[in-house]
Amino acid sequence: MIEALRTPDDHFINLPGYPFAPHYLEQKNGLRMHYLDEGLREPSAPVFLCLHGQPSWSYLYRKMIPIFANHGRVLAPDLFGFGRSDKPVDDNVYTIEFHRNALIEFIETLDLQNITLVCQDWGGLLGLTIPYQMPDRFKRLIVMNTAFPTGEQSLGPGFEAWKAFNRSQPDMDVASLFKRGTSVLSDAEAAAYGAPFPSIEYKAGVRRFPELVPGTIDTPGSEHGRAGRDWFRDHSSGESFMAIGGSDPVITPAAMQSLRGNIRGCPEPMVIAEAGHFVQEWGEQVAKSALDSFG
């Protein structure tokens, strides 16, 4: 049994721009995963699977969900350790396999089909490794600042600096981090990002993610990154849309253009010059532009 904490429900009351009802799925490992489930439920409707990264949660997609919900079903799970999902207290529980297997179980349990993968940060590092294993379920891709976790390239000075900062902040002030890095946020919105993490005991998942990014081809999980990269480059035939936060100091526009080169048929990206890492804060225009590009 995995020892885990569960953030009290009253931490999620009256969060700005987040009126969505919670849904829960208990997984085989005994942990409860939270997810949002909005929009159309017709069998033929597209499914928008929105995957967040670190240190965010499904709150990140609050501006995109209403747009997508007019066109299909929208699912936004909280990864374990984040949002309203259970938070294992042992840092060592968190691995790429742990998170990836949880997402695969989520997709299979809900039997999701006709998926548009919407991903950024670890939502991409994990999400981009899944379609090669279940290609019939995935149809389209909306990708924001992220990468394939192949372990074949240096992580670069920007990411090494982020790892060092993260390591120095075991009780990271998530609200302050978002406020500094995303100028358009109000104080209340920044505080909402920190709502799931009332104390250091709830932040094992936050601490672990930067340490999991593959820096060599022998790093656990990098084999999935290479397989995902190869599938998107050589086999994917679905439509794709890329939005880039032009002011991201870690996953730069140049890095995103490199990612684009490994997504077959990916058109010229949308670049939002003032956006940083969390492109979803400009999510309304991103979502509308993506849907327009799909026709």
Q: Which listed residue (34, 78, 99, 248) is catalytic?
A: 248
> Cα–Cα distance between 87 and 80 in angstroms, integer?
6
The SS3 of residue 288 is: helix
Annotation marks residue 248 as catalytic: yes
Q: Which listed residue (52, 78, 121, 224) is catalytic?
A: 121
Annotation marks residue 173 as catalytic: no
Q: List the helix and strand counts (H, then E) for the chain.
A: 10, 10
- Residue closest to 64 by CA, chosen among 282, 294, 293, 292: 282
Annotation marks residue 277 as catalytic: yes
Q: Which listed residue (34, 52, 224, 277) is catalytic?
A: 277
- Count of residues for the chain? 295
- Long-range CB pairs of 106-112, under 8 A, 24+ apart, other chains included: 106/25, 106/27, 106/33, 106/35, 106/77, 107/49, 107/134, 107/137, 108/134, 109/25, 109/27, 110/25, 110/75, 112/47, 112/49, 112/75, 112/137
Map tokens 């700005």 to a residue. Answer: 16
> Cα–Cα distance between 134 and 108 in angstroms, integer?
10
- Residue closest to 247 by CA, chosen among 168, 158, 163: 158
Write out the catalytic residue numbers: 121, 248, 277
